[in-house]
Structure 1
Amino acid sequence: MSSAHQQIEALREELRHHEHLYYVLDAPTWEDWQYDEAMNRLKALEAEHPELVTPDSPTQRVGGKPKEGFAKVAHSRPMLSLDNAYNADELRAWAERVQAGLAAGEKAGYVCELKLDGLSLAVNYVPGSGGEAVLSTGITRGDGSIGEDVTTNVRTIRSVPLHISAKKLKEAGLPQSFEVRGEVVLPQKAFAKMNEERVAAGMAPAANPRNAAAGTIRTLEPNIVAQRRLEYFSYFLLRDGESFIAEQSEALASLRTAGFLVNKQTRSAKTIDEVLKFIDDADAVRDSLPYDIDGVVIKVDSIAQQRRLGFTGKAPRWAIAYKFPARAANTVLEDVLFQVGRTGKITPVAALKPVFIGGTTVARATLHNADEIARLGVKIGDTVAVERGGDVIPKITHVVSAAPHGRSVEFPQICPICESPLVKEESEVDWRCVNESCPARIAGAMLHWSSRGVMNIEGLGESMVAQLLGQALESITEDDAELESEAVSETGEPVQVREPLVTTIADLYDPAKVNVAKLVELERVGEKTAQALVDEIERSKQRGLARVLMGLGIRFVGERTAQLLAQHFGDVSALIAASREELEAVNEVGPKVAEAIAEFFAVDRNAELVARLRELGVDMTAEKREIGTKFAGLTFVLTGTLPTMTRDDAKALIEAAGGKVSGSVSKKTSYVVAGEEAGSKLEKAQQLGVPVVDEAGLQQLLSE
């Protein structure tokens, strides 16, 4: 090794050591000038010897901006959300479900961690040339299955190691290839500084640190990201998509040893009472922390137990988020606006005098429906209590004081957008616009189609949809703020109304209607933005049948039902041709859902939309799941803990043999599969005379 090489390596190790002391341990031993001096020496040596520059050098944290924006990348395993608990009773009920999923006599231990109010991020490491691990990629959560490659920006976050030495890997018990998941947060001091700079520059301040962090990590200018001083708290370890350390508490210790920033506010607990004590302690120090939190995450400590407990369709059974009580404030109701969603539902929205609640300025709150307005007895001008908890949409809880001359809220009888008469079914509380051509309904349907959990078309947000449809931005609405689309217009000014480029979802895929040349004619759309949107639309063609079914907006067909339908039929043509009896043969599809599906495809306009989407190249197929007939027509109920398989395993076997799995026992139940600690379901089966089998009996039924 040459003298220059030795000097460079020594400086790199010294700088890495002091970065760890400063950014991870919060215990610096150098003054800023000492760090800058060492960094400048390293930069000078690397300039003299460019052949010795490596990607994991401390000088390489800030690089050039991505040339083509952020590429989409699939996660090694889905980044799922967590189920929530809002009080001690709900938390204890979760713990009881955990215990019911474990073997008799087996006890679960827990790890408690603060629920940081930021954005989830996965970082991957690969082997270096000398036994070390080096940062490979940083990927946002995205829709949970596919995120964006934001590696260039992640490299600027000082609490994300670019290089982990072979020595540290050995001490931490880590391989050279692994994945870390965690949360990116913007500390409150950095958030305040950023807002000061925005106001000084004549810009509106950011609403809260979480939104600011999310916007920063997706900025195309790494220099800006570096200046924001984001922090990355690590809390999860994977290799090839699987946990590989025996306990979550041990994984956190390994991350600390390897040089990652792990939140100090973590605690192991043997009982739920100990968990509740941690929650009380966290709530007490919440306002003194340098970053925002909105609750506590509780995980089963044992990875082996986590595997046995498994997952539901959307969340792990072995973890839960305890949300802190909602924060509230009083303000004045200045007006009530009426939004039209993609289904035609009319949602009243309270326009409030802006008030700061729990880290966010709140100017809007949902009023749900006409019945809720009547229940509250609220009038325009009243002082009202507004509550916001976690990710919950702000809501008015009650009237604090009535205005002397308050104005009554008049619920409209015609659509506020298209002026068609509104309709209310006797069995429903909502008023709806039933005009299929209502501009707001079309816009809402397009926003739903493009949202992350559906076709995931980046860039097709409110402003772009408004322009494509020739509408003013203010006419675009969403269903109860459920969508994750982002408004492009920062000024809030309505875009210029013009002739529409599209009138249906299918038009998005028609190159004669949506192309770069036509998009650049829109307001604030350059060639690069136009090309990126065209590319996104083209990529969305390959999302598959399940996503298409979600995007069509069929009543009662959510993510889980869409997946089951796609796996069962394999092609949209087979689904359209299915009778109601054939639809009900799909697991978890009952008469109500089957009727909604049949009615949807019986409408000519819907059938024509599907046909045109297919004609324009949108993939409407899925890998068909082969279903046996051995259990055809049979319904099973699972209860208790089985000796060698999880309930998910048993459910998969039953469904693969053509059977259905129900959550409750009735006279129509064919078999109850009972394990250890079976409860009331077993008792009810015995009362009704329903046959009961154990795991071995289930296997025997399968083999007969």
Structure 2
Amino acid sequence: MGSDKHTNTHSAQERVGALRELLRHHEYLYYVMDAPEIDDLQYDALMRELQGLEGEHPEWVTPDSPTQRVGGKAADGFSKVAHSRPMLSLDNVNSEAELREWDRRARELAGPSADVSYVCEYKLDGLSMALHFGPGEEGQEEGGAVRLLRGLTRGDGSVGEDVTSNVRTIKSVPLVISAKQREKAGLPERFEVRGEVVMPLAGFLAMNEERESLGQAPAANPRNAAAGTIRTLEPNVVAQRRLDFYGYFLLDPEGAPLLPTQSAALDALTAAGFRVNPHREAIREFDKLLAFIEKAEANRTGLGYEIDGVVIKLDQTGLQRRLGYTGKAPRWAVAYKFASRFAVSVVEDIKVQVGRTGKLTPVAVLRPVGIGGITVTRATLHNEDEIERLGLLIGDSVRVERGGDVIPKVVEVVGADGTDKDHPRGTRPFVFPEHCPVCGAEVKRSEGEADHRCVNATCPARVAGSLLHFASRGVMNIEGLGEAVVMQLLERGLVHSVADIYLLDEAKLLSLERIGKKTADALLAEIAKSRTAPLYRVLYGLGIRFVGERTAELLAEEFGSMDALMAATQEELERVNEVGPRVSASIAEFFSEEPNRKLVEELRAAGLQFTAKKRERTEELAGLSFVLTGTLPTLTREQAKEKIESAGGKVAGSVSKKTSYVVAGEEAGSKLEKAQELGVKVLDEAGLLGLLT
């Protein structure tokens, strides 16, 4: 009997191994190759058999088993992890002339003897992701196999969020890569794959239908939907959205290219079992670049996913290293962005939406029209001046534009001259409301500005956006306080302003759906931690119009306390670098409103930081303006900027005849060339420090 039991156990283990390989094979065919060999019922039967065997023998379960893609448990938050090398954005070009100029510069920097060739790839409109692969714990992989260790979002480019549990649910991401696949692809034991997470259009439309049926606002575009999905704390939700991952970079653990060409990297990713966009081509002649772009633009509506352009990269990684980077983008790659797409529809009504900062935005309610695979029913009209410029009446036929990364907008009235019989004019003019359509507060429009605004910070329409802004990574950084939680808190009347975040307790959080004790405690810990955030983040979190992170930091350093800032006159505010009349008026207006002052006092009572160390200023560089370019030997760009501003100087982003000095480091770009053209003095780091002594 003992021998039979051993034989049965051994046979079951073999069956588990065979089922895993079979399921991985069919996942690859379905999710990567789009060529399934079995139907869903057959796949589900294999999965149930594996789940049953693993249920009987839980000690056999491994992290890379197909049954473990969705763990079912919500994450308590995402930890921050530094990237092997920065994940930078690309510079954009929008015309043949701009592309020719980029091509000229690239060839010039590569050198006259360089053999320049490019790889063109479709520019997927999604979320950048870095996946790390390597050996797991001892005994988890058969000889030479590696598995997914970590998945990181782009984050701020230097540090990303660890979303591994969610990445594991994406079935076009291999959980394990066999020794045979590694050998075929020529991959080392450890490597990194960078690529794009996208939401297919069919999934995006289904998700928006579901959101609208629940009374929620639809997502603006598939890219935003993919980004929001990958950062949800519920892996089950991520799995339901059916995201896809397309690989496009192959790096070693230090972030350097693994192979001598981008073409070879894409082929290796394909051989390793990754989904790689098939629409790619190696090109040498400029005219063929244009032909590839033209073909891509013609194909964009039939792909089943969004693309907003073409990425063009130097193929040779050696030349990529030679060209290097500007401060924010590689010189060896560029994105050619497509023109916006248009359609004609009828404006059936105009509604007014109230945003996070109180801005009232008129929105055209359109007769449904398809643009690039998406049914458009609404389009922004921006403000009252824009409606007047268009001469728009309710009932007009209009041309609607949908760009790659913006919500649809009305660009013109069709047949406005009355000669187009196919597109008759409307009859009803739109009248902008004098009171907020949500809270009833008076609507204000400052002199010289186009926008109408509700200035009541506790207006219910502003609260959801205000809460999400306040909790976001760049502000108070309250992990776990995302859209799903915020909407539940509002629906149950548990919060009415950002100050109410600090009145939440375990009992209130446990009353929400999908919130258990561990998640509630983690969120309360995040809220408690946010009380230590510096004053400038509190200022930024208030949502004062025109006050972004940098302006908030300058204000905190200048005034040193919330009280001093609230008491400052517009003249005193305008002494702060980068604060002009428009910004100072907005700050003064915000603090003049009683509901806003009450909100500040509630945040004070919650224990937030209301003081900061004032910046010590000198006058060595008073009246001088500087532009920074390239990489300095010892100072970061922010450190150099702080030294200049502390000495009374100003730092600008572009070079002009009024620039006093350009401070140039290694790999200085076009700003140095511009300075030389204009005769602006150029300093190195030592020269800058010499001015400060």
1:73 aligns with 2:79: yes
Deviation, 1:363, is 2.0
Tell me if the contact between 1:237 and 1:244 (Cα under 8 Å) persists in the aligned partners.
Answer: yes
Name 1:409's counterpart in structure 2: 430
Q: Match for residue 676 of structure 2?
A: 682
Residue matched to 1:428: 449
For the pair 1:505 / 2:503, whether they are aligned, the reply is: no
Residue aligning to 2:368: 354
| Among candidates 123, 131, 143, match of residue 131 of structure 2 | 123
SS in 2 for 1:410: coil
C-alpha displacement of 1:65: 0.5
Contact 2:110 2:319 in 1 (8 A): no
**Which sits farther off after the overlay, 601-610 or 122-131?**
601-610
Distance change in 2, residues 1:572/1:597 (3 Å): farther
Structure 1, residues 380-404: CA drift from partner, whole Å, max 9, x if none? 1122221212121211122225656
Match of 1:589 among 556, 563, 578: 578
Distance 1:94 1:521 in 2: 56
Contact in 2 for aligned 1:417/1:438 (Cα 8 Å): yes
Equivalent position to 1:448, from 462, 469, 474: 469
Q: Which residue of 1 aligns with 2:420?
A: none
Pick aligned residue for 1:548 from 535, 538, 548: 538
Alignment of 1:107-122 (within 5 A): 110-122=118-130
Counterparts of 2:217 and 2:682, CA distance in 1: 63
Residue 448 (structure 1) shift: 3.3
Q: 2:660 aligns with which of 659, 669, 683?
A: 669
Asked whether the equivalents of residues 672 and 692 of structure 1 are also in contact (C-alpha less than 8 Å), the reply is yes
Distance 2:468 2:208 in 1: 33
Between the aligned partners of 2:150 and 2:324, the Cα distance in structure 1 is: 30
- Which residues of structure 1 form unaligned runs of 5+? 469-494
Q: Give the whole-Å Cα distance in 1 for the aligned partners of 2:117 and 2:240.
A: 41
Offset of 1:365 from its aligned partner? 1.2
Task: Give TM-score, length-normalised by structure 1.
Answer: 0.73
Report how far residue 408 of structure 1 moved: 1.2
1:20–1:597 distance in 2 versus 1, CA, 3 Å:
same
| Residues 131 and 152, structure 2, Cα contact 8 Å, conserved in 1 | yes
Q: Shift of residue 369 of structure 1?
A: 1.7
How many residues are matched?
655
The equivalent residue for 1:478 is none
Deviates more, 1:378-387 or 1:624-633: 624-633
Partner residue, 2:388: 374
- Say yes or no: does 1:335 pair with 2:325: no
SS at 1:375 equivalent: helix
Q: In the alignment, what sits opposite 1:483?
A: none
C-alpha contact 2:126 2:226 (8 A) present in aligned 1:
yes
Say if 1:8 and 1:42, in contact at 8 Å, map to a contact too. yes
User: Is 1:133 aligned with 2:165?
Assistant: no
Answer yes or no: is the 8 Å Cα contact 2:76–2:522 preserved in 1. no
Amino acid of the structure 2 residue aligned with 1:682: Q
Distance (Å, rounded) in 2 between the aligned partners of 1:104 and 1:702: 39
One of 391, 399, 403 as aligned partner of 1:385: 399
2:155 paired with 1:155: no
Residues 1:88 and 2:82 aligned together: no
What is the alpha-carbon distance in structure 1 between the residues aligned to residue 156 and residue 292 of structure 2?
31
Q: Give, in angstroms, the shift of residue 379 of structure 1.
A: 0.8
How far off is 1:367 after superposition?
A: 1.0
Deviations 1:183-228 (CA, angstroms, capped at 9, x unpaired): 3335467778x689979x9999988766776676578876776676
The 8 Å contact of residues 569 and 588 in structure 2, kept in 1 or not, is answered as no
| Deviation (angstroms), 1:445 | 3.7
Q: Which runs of 5+ in 2 are unaligned?
A: 1-5, 416-422
Q: Write the letter of the residue equivalent to 2:289.
A: V
User: What do the CA deviations read for 1:430-486 (whole angstroms, capped 9, x no partner)?
Assistant: 233445665545565444324565445555549946964xxxxxxxxxxxxxxxxxx
Instruction: Give the letter aligned to residue 507 of structure 1.
Output: D
Task: Name the stretch that deviates more: 568-577 or 155-164.
Answer: 568-577
Q: CA deviation at 1:594?
A: 8.1
Query: What secondary structure, in the 3-state scheme, does the structure 2 residue paired with 1:262 have?
Result: coil
Give the whole-Å Cα distance in 2 for the aligned partners of 1:299 and 1:575.
Answer: 51
The answer on whether the counterparts of 2:455 and 2:593 sit within 8 Å (CA) in structure 1 is no
Deviation of 1:618 after TM superposition, in Å, equals 4.0
Work out whether residues 128 and 197 of structure 2, in 8 Å CA contact, stay in contact via their aligned partners in 1. yes
Q: In the superposition, relative to structure 1, how do residues 336 and 256 fare at CA in structure 2: closer, same or farther (>3 Å)? A: same
Aligned to 2:641: 655
Letter in 2 for 1:278: F
What is the CA–CA distance in structure 2 between the aligned matches of 1:683 and 1:363, rounded to whole Å?
A: 50
2:266 is equivalent to residue 266 of structure 1:
no
Given residue 431 of structure 2, which amino acid in structure 1 is its aligned partner? Answer: E
3-state SS of the aligned residue for 1:448? helix
CA–CA distance in 1 between the matches of 2:280 and 2:121? 5
Do the aligned partners of 2:126 and 2:199 also contact (CA within 8 Å) in 1? yes
| Greater Cα shift, 360-369 or 406-415 | 406-415
CA distance in 2, matches of 1:585, 1:105: 53
Aligned-pair Cα RMSD in Å: 5.4
1:28-427 equivalences under 5 Å are: 50-58=58-66, 60-66=67-73, 68-69=74-75, 71-77=77-83, 82=90, 84-92=92-100, 110-128=118-136, 129=138, 130-139=143-152, 150-169=163-182, 172-187=185-200, 230-238=243-251, 242-245=255-258, 247-270=261-284, 273-301=287-315, 302=317, 305=320, 309-310=324-325, 312=327, 319-401=333-415, 403=424, 406-427=427-448
Letter in 2 for 1:548: V
1:158 alignment partner, SS class: coil
- When residues 96 and 557 of structure 1 are mapped into structure 2, their CA distance, relative to the original with a 3 A threshold, is farther
CA distance in 1, matches of 2:301, 2:196: 19
- Structure 1 pair 461–164 and aligned structure 2 pair: CA distance change class (3 A): closer
Q: CA deviation at 1:32?
A: 8.4
Measured in 2, the distance between the counterparts of 1:107 and 1:575 equals: 62
Residue 625 and residue 404 in structure 1: after superposition, are their counterparts in 2 closer, same or farther (change >3 A)? closer
Partner SS for 2:405: coil
CA change 1:26–1:459 in 2 (3 A) is: same
SS of the counterpart of 1:408? Answer: coil
What's the secondary structure of 2:82's corresponding residue? Answer: coil
SS in 1 for 2:79: strand
Report the CA distance shift for 1:203/1:12 in structure 2 as closer, same or farther (over 3 A).
Answer: same
- Stretch deviating more after TM superposition (115-124 or 530-539): 530-539
Worse overlay, 154-163 or 379-388: 154-163
